[in-house]
Amino acid sequence: GQQLNQSPQSMFIQEGEDVSMNCTSSSIFNTWLWYKQDPGEGPVLLIALYKAGELTSNGRLTAQFGITRKDSFLNISASIPSDVGIYFCAGQLSGGYQKVTFGTGTKLQVIP
């Protein structure tokens, strides 16, 4: 089956620093999604990407849909303490019933 690997698995950064994380797949997806999960909560959708090569921003977050359609990247600029959490990528195939597959997650810790 499809597998999504995220890297890094975890990271500690200083407040104000920029963050980069990525997600790679063994197969192609038509849609990439990025979620953030706070402790004790469900994942919350941050950004959705629909086209290969697409670059989309949401505030300090920027995500890109890789040209090969097998990867995606998420960047967070000028990190703040509330960015702490687990970030998940998710891939989705279009057509049919659009099953969503989640990545392994990147745990982000921000040091004030």
Partner 1 sequence: DAGVIQSPRHEVTEMGQEVTLRCKPISGHNSLFWYRQTMMRGLELLIYFNNNVPIDDSGMPEDRFSAKMPNASFSTLKIQPSEPRDSAVYFCASRGIRFGDFGAFFGQGTRLTVV
Binding range to partner 1, per CB under 8 A, among 18-26, 51-59, 65-73, 90-98: 90-98
Count of chain residues binding partner 1 (CB under 8 A):
22
Per-residue binder mask for partner 1 (CB under 8 A), 37-66, x = binder: ---xxxxxx--x-x----------------
By residue count, the chain amounts to 112
Q: Return d(Cα 35, Cα 57) in angstroms, integer.
A: 14
User: Which of 2, 68 has the CB closer to partner 1?
Assistant: 2
Judged by DSSP in three states, 92 sits in: strand
Alpha helices in 6-99 (DSSP H): none
Task: Return the bridge partners of 21, or none.
Answer: 74
User: Which of 96, 112 has the CB closer to partner 1?
Assistant: 96
Interface with partner 1 includes 85 (CB under 8 A)? no
Cβ within 8 Å of residue 82, ≥6 positions away = none
The CB-of-20 to partner 1 minimum distance in angstroms stands at 21
